[in-house]
Structure 1
Amino acid sequence: MENFYRFLFFVCAAAAVGVLSIIFVVIWVLHYKEGLAWDGGAAEFNLHPVLMVAGFIFLQGTAIIIFRLPWTWACNKLVMKLIHAGLHLSAFTLAVISTVAVFDFHNNAKIPNMYSLHSWLGLAAVILYCLQIVVGVVLYLVPITPVAWRAAFMPYHVFCGTLLFVGIIAVALMGITEKLIFSLKIPKYSESPPEGIFVNVLGVLLVVFGALVVFTATRVPWKRPNDQVLHTLHTNEGGEDSGKVGPSLSELSHAADADDTDVRRRIGKLDETN
């Protein structure tokens, strides 16, 4: 991998900021709010930010960069696809639970539903995320899907996933700001009380986490090499095929260092052959 230590820095930084964001949102609801519960009250509403940050943001970010980890390149591509899909499905499940918690709280407190821009975009994100998962499973996990379809849709799959991830972080920032404006009365949010400053820091952490994930996911030199392309290169350059199912980590590193331009050109032609 090109610039491996730089890649390692960004991955570790993303993991650290992501975990710190979860810690911050848990401290927020436990220390400044009413805690966590499933009782139809304010404590149930608090499940919404916690599950959204832990699932819809952190797990989704992890799913996006899971293919970039070089330690997974020796794994079967199908196994990695299942892990990728499992992380997204877990994130979606937590998002649904958190959405139900909001509706339950609003109904019990006689608060209108779906009136704010945050609620409109949030529900749209959940629906589109579900659609993204369904289309991804049909195209990339169903064996009968033509290879040409997979290759043709891959740029759109990546673009839609990245757009959803960034959009969900933006919607989360809208949500926590809305919550602070509604809940902070004495002192007001505009007076910069400790809770307001604390949650503002949480928002900054979410933005930093998103930036680190998107940067890591969009760096072409850090893309997982196509197994068939690298195996073909190894066979052609090394002579007789060794009969292995896929390349080893040393072969992946050798191929990546050899001629990155040629490898990427072949990847473009034979992308998503598994």
Structure 2
Amino acid sequence: MENFRQFVVFLLAAVLLGTLSVVFALTWVLHWRGGLAWDLGLLEFNWHPVLSIIGFILINGLAVIIYRLPWTWNVSKPLMKYIHAGLNIAAFVLIVISLVAVFDFHNSKSIPNMYSLHSWIGLAAVIMYALQIVLGLCTFLLPFTPTYIKAFYMSIHVFAGLFIFGMAIAAAEMGITEKLIFTLRSGSNITLSYSRSPPEAILVNTLGVFILVFGGCILWIATRPEWKRPPEHINKIIGNEEGSTLNETNVSAETNMERVPEGTARMRYLNLEEACQRSTF
């Protein structure tokens, strides 16, 4: 991998910021918002920011870059597909629970649903995420899906994953700000109003900064071309270097096969196969 040290720095920064985001979210709801419960009240609503950050931000972000971890390059591509899908499904389950919590709270208190920009973008991201998972499972995990469909859909799948992750970041930023404005209104205790930057507001604003920078680290890792997972046949060569006597003739033969003139059917097959094997994630 090129620029391996830079990769490690961004990866460690992402892990640290993602972890801090979860810790700050838990501190917020446990210390200032009364805790967590399933009571159709404010304590049930508190599950919404916590589970959304864990699922839609942290786990989803890790799923985006899972293919780019060089320590997984010797793991077979089919197994990595199952890990990638499993992370996304786990994230989606947490998101659904968080949505149930917020709708339960709104309905029990007769608060209108789906009136804010936060709710519009958030629900749109969840719906798109569900479609992304279903289409990804059908396209890349079903053995009878034609190769040309996999090659065609790959770039769409990659772009949609990054776009949905960006939507999740935007929805989270708007959501925590909206919650602060509603709960820290100017009233009898003016010192606790949002405009006076009480400790709760400082903590939650810091949480928003952590989420934003975490998203930036994930997107940087996911879009650097030099950090892509190599094609599967290269991984096999690398994995066999220590335990086999693979000679340069075999490598040269494989390289020469890829240099067949572009107009031949063999070259078209290799290009199609490589397109299916490569992923930006």
Distance 1:165 1:14, change over 3 A: same
| TM-score (norm: length of structure 1) | 0.86
Give 1:27's aligned residue. Answer: 27
Which residue type is aligned with residue 93 of structure 1?
A: V
Higher Rg? 2
In the comparison of the two structures, how many residue pairs are matched? 250
Does structure 1 conserve the Cα–Cα contact (< 8 Å) formed by 2:29 and 2:36? yes
User: Deviation string for 1:25-63 (max 9, x for gaps)?
Assistant: 000000110100111110100000000001110000000
**DSSP-derived class of the 2:276 partner:** coil
RMSD across aligned positions (CA): 2.1
Amino acid paired to 1:213: I
Paired residue for 1:238? 248
Which of residues 207, 216, 230 in structure 1 aligns to 2:221?
Answer: 216
Aligned to 2:45: 45
User: C-alpha offsets along residues 207-226 of structure 1, whole Å, 9 cap, x if unaligned?
Assistant: 00000000001011110001
Which range moves more in the overlay, 28-37 or 223-232? 223-232
Deviation at 1:273, TM superposition (A): 4.4
Instruction: Classify the secondary structure of the residue corresponding to 1:239.
Output: helix
Residue in structure 2 matched with residue 90 of structure 1 by the alignment: 90
Q: Which residue of 2 aligns with 1:196?
A: 201
Question: What residue in structure 1 maps to residue 260 of structure 2?
Answer: none
**Larger CA deviation: 226-235 vs 146-155:** 226-235
Deviation at 1:8, TM superposition (A): 1.0
| Structure 1 CA distance for aligned equivalents of residues 272 and 207 of structure 2 | 39
For 1:239, give the aligned amino acid: T
Distance 1:74 1:80, change over 3 A: same
Give the counterpart letter for 2:201 in structure 1. Answer: G
Paired AA for residue 271 in structure 1: A
Which aligned pairs between 1:101-250 and structure 2 lie closer than 5 A?
A: 101-185=101-185, 186=189, 187-228=192-233, 238-240=248-250
Instruction: Give me the TM-score of the superposition, normalised by structure 2.
Output: 0.84
Residue 250 of structure 1 is matched in structure 2 by none
* 1:5-84 matched pairs, under 5 angstroms: 5-84=5-84
Conserved in 2, the CA contact under 8 Å of 1:226 and 1:267?
Answer: no
Contact 1:14-1:209 at 8 Å conserved across structures: yes
- Alpha-carbon distance in structure 2 between the residues aligned to 1:200 and 1:156: 34
Instruction: Name the CA distance, whole Å, in 1 between partners of 2:38 and 2:152.
Output: 44
CA distance, structure 1, for counterparts of residue 172 and residue 134 of structure 2:
23
